[in-house]
Amino acid sequence: MPKIDLQSIEQTNRTGYPSPFDRDVEGRWYRRVAPSSGMADFGVGHVTLRPGAWSSQRHWHDGEDEFLVMLEGEAILVEDDGRSLLTAGDCAAWPKGSTNGHHLINESDNDCVFIVVGGGTNIGGGYSDVDLKFTKDGQYVHRDGTPYPEAERPA
Amino acid sequence: MPKIDLQSIEQTNRTGYPSPFDRDVEGRWYRRVAPSSGMADFGVGHVTLRPGAWSSQRHWHDGEDEFLVMLEGEAILVEDDGRSLLTAGDCAAWPKGSTNGHHLINESDNDCVFIVVGGGTNIGGGYSDVDLKFTKDGQYVHRDGTPYPEAERPA
């Protein structure tokens, strides 16, 4: 049945971020929904942020649109132009190519849960607040292009 | 700010279905979220089903993956192999090309609200229970290919 059994999908807090950027996402627990569901046209993440966790370093994608809908709890969306509260039912969209970086921070005392959808093609992207960018080949590099020690692919 | 102001997006119950298939979706009120948000890699619908309303005639897409997450209320997902209850937080996926048609019926006494995402390319698709299919050109036709009187594009 296409109703998705979320519990059957591995939930992980794995990240490929080089140190020390990995610490902010330790409390980000996610499931990759699309592959096991047979979908290939876009990616779907089911994400839980523990209190204090970040969804990512503040970033943008050069070639991939991103959409988020909050399911439970609340988080603060941080962008160049300020902070917005996202609560259950709130939606946000980040079209590819906009360098107005975004991330969510769970500043509450409870978990928050959201769905994030990504489409398009990875051609790289950047981070607003740290010396980091990611390449079309899935590598993390400094802003000057120097590689970080090889870790996992960007997540 | 990329937080989406849903209230600013037109909500409509328009349908291109030929009569009498349009009646079942009279209580389906939706917003097209992607265009006004600048996203192009996939479509996003924010849909409210009034009590009794159907999300669509039971259908599939030959070339487009579809993903749904329930935000509020509940509905029955109907497919070839039976019925499933979807409540807030439940997700479902319909990979392109599977002819196991699906739709949601709100059999409850309250509205239900969901997000639906569609990707890929429209190359047509079919309907499980009625003499209808849609073409890559956005026309509704009988199963034998005879056109229905021109209406709107499939929705």
Q: What is the pLDDT of residues B62-98, one digit of tens each?
A: 999 999 999 999 999 999 999 999 999 999 999 999 9
Q: Give the one of B33, B84, B89 whose C-beta lies nearest to A91's C-beta.
A: B33
Nearest CA in chain A to B81: A1
B79 at interface of A, judged by CB pairs closer than 8 A: yes
pLDDT at B52: 98
Phi/psi at B35 (5° precision): -55, -45
**What is the average pLDDT score of chain A?**
95
The ipTM estimated for the assembled molecules is 0.94
In angstroms, how far is the first alpha carbon of chain B from the final one? 28
Nearest CA in chain B to A121: B41
pLDDT tens by residue, A114-128:
999 999 999 999 999
Check: CB of residue B102 under 8 Å from CB of residue B60: yes
When scoring B41, B77, B80 by the number of chain A Cβ atoms within 10 A, the one with the most, hence best to mutate, is B41
Question: In this complex, do A94 and B2 lie within 8 Å of one another by their Cβ atoms?
Answer: yes
pLDDT at A3: 92
Average of per-residue pLDDT across B115-130: 97
Check: CB of residue A65 under 8 Å from CB of residue A99: no
Residues 6+ apart with CB under 8 A from B23: none
Average of per-residue pLDDT across A95-100: 96
**Percent of chain B predicted with pLDDT > 70:** 95
pLDDT at B7: 96
Average of per-residue pLDDT across A77-81: 97
Q: What is the pTM of this model?
A: 0.95
For residue A39, pLDDT over 90 is answered with yes
Within 8 A of B111 by CB-CB distance, chain A residues are: none
pLDDT at B2: 83
Q: Give the one of B67, B69, B71 whose C-beta lies nearest to A39's C-beta.
A: B67
pLDDT tens by residue, B12-44:
999 999 999 999 999 999 999 999 899 999 999
Q: How many angstroms separate the CA atoms of B142 and A114, rounded?
A: 40
Question: In this complex, do B39 and A93 lie within 8 Å of one another by their Cβ atoms?
Answer: yes
The count of other CB atoms within 10 Å of the CB of residue A121 is 11
Cβ contacts from A onto B, under 8 A? 138
Question: Mind giving me the DSSP string for B103-122?
Answer: EEE--SSS-EEEEEEE-S--
B149 pLDDT band, cuts 50/70/90, is confident
B108 pLDDT band, cuts 50/70/90, is very high
For residue A154, pLDDT over 90 is answered with no
Q: Measuring CA to CA, how many Å separate B149 from each of A97, B14, B58?
A: 42, 17, 21
Which SS3 state, helix, strand or coil, does residue A5 take? coil
Check: CB of residue B17 under 8 Å from CB of residue B138: no
Residues 6+ apart with CB under 8 A from B18: B132, B140, B148, B149, B151
pLDDT at B28: 98
B93 at interface of A, judged by CB pairs closer than 8 A: yes
Within 8 A of B3 by CB-CB distance, chain A residues are: 77, 84, 86, 90-92
**Percent of chain A predicted with pLDDT > 70:** 95
Nearest CA in chain A to B119: A41
Q: Give the one of B42, B82, B113 whose C-beta lies nearest to A41's C-beta.
A: B42
Chain B, 136 to 155: residues with Cβ < 8 Å from chain A are none
For residue A152, pLDDT over 70 is answered with no
Within 8 A of A81 by CB-CB distance, chain B residues are: 1
Taking alpha carbons only, the member of A97, A99, A69, A55 closest to residue B6 is: A69
Q: Give the one of B42, B72, B94 whose C-beta lies nearest to A65's C-beta.
A: B42
For residue B154, pLDDT over 60 is answered with no
The count of other CB atoms within 10 Å of the CB of residue A72 is 14
pLDDT at A38: 94
**What is the average pLDDT score of chain B?**
95
The count of other CB atoms within 10 Å of the CB of residue A137 is 9
A138 pLDDT band, cuts 50/70/90, is confident
